[in-house]
């Protein structure tokens, strides 16, 4: 083993505070990112459910979906 004791492992010849702080910040930010992503997903799903209920269509509806996009030809002015 590279270290003689647990204390030597934690101190890492003086580099321990930097190393453990980096690990702490990394895991803190990773946890915050996971929490934020789940929170955003819940908000998007709730907004989609509200939109579906507002339009009167739900998942059990068998009617054809209405096209919501229109495509028109763009005339560019290249002379």
pTM higher than 0.95: no
Domain segments of the chain as ranges: 12-54
Q: What is the pLDDT of residues 15-53, one digit of tens each?
A: 999 999 999 999 999 999 999 999 999 999 999 999 888
> Quick one: how far is CA 71 from the chain centroid?
31
Dist CA 44 CA 38 (whole Å): 10
Of 29, 30, 26, the closest CA to residue 18 belongs to 26
């Amino acid at each position: 083993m590279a270290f003689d004791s647990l204390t030597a492992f934690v101190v890492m010849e003086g580099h321990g505070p930097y190393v453990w702080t980096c690990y702490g910040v990394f895991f803190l930010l990773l946890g915050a990112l996971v929490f934020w992503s789940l929170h955003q997903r819940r908000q998007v799903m709730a907004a989609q459910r509200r939109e579906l209920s507002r339009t009167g269509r739900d998942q059990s509806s068998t009617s054809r979906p209405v096209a919501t996009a229109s495509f028109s030809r763009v005339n560019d002015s290249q002379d």
